[in-house]
Amino acid sequence: MSSYKTQQHRLVHRGRPFHFVSYEGQAADMKRQTAAVPPTWYVMLAGKRWAVVTQAAEVEPAELERQFAVWLDENVFSAAPAA
């Protein structure tokens, strides 16, 4: 059993609330042909999740919020349609 502890963070950005959740990384699986995934922060929107940033061991909450805000500006609030 893993000792990983999921973390959650809520952020209000541009007047909208966002919910971020960290998920444990996964090792590569040669049988299923999947690549390894590091521990990552995801934003939860409309019942789905999107990868935001790789989870670092010791990141200050202010820096984490800055990273989330940058991602939101580029991916949620940008005028250009997502590819």
* Strand, coil or helix: 25: coil
Percent of the chain with pLDDT over 90: 71
Domain residue ranges in the chain: 8-75
For residue 58, the 8-state DSSP code is S
pTM of the full predicted structure?
A: 0.82
Tens of pLDDT along 14-35?
999 999 999 999 999 999 999 9
pLDDT of residue 55: 92
Q: Given this model, what pLDDT does residue 81 score?
A: 59
Cβ atoms within 10 Å, residue 58? 5
- Look at residue 82 in the predicted model and tell me its pLDDT: 57
The rounded distance, in Å, linking the Cα atoms of 45 and 37 is 21
Place 3 in a pLDDT band, splitting at 50, 70 and 90: confident
- Angle in degrees, CA 22, 80, 54, rounded to 5: 20
Q: What is the dihedral of CA 55, 60, 62, 65, to 10 degrees?
A: 10
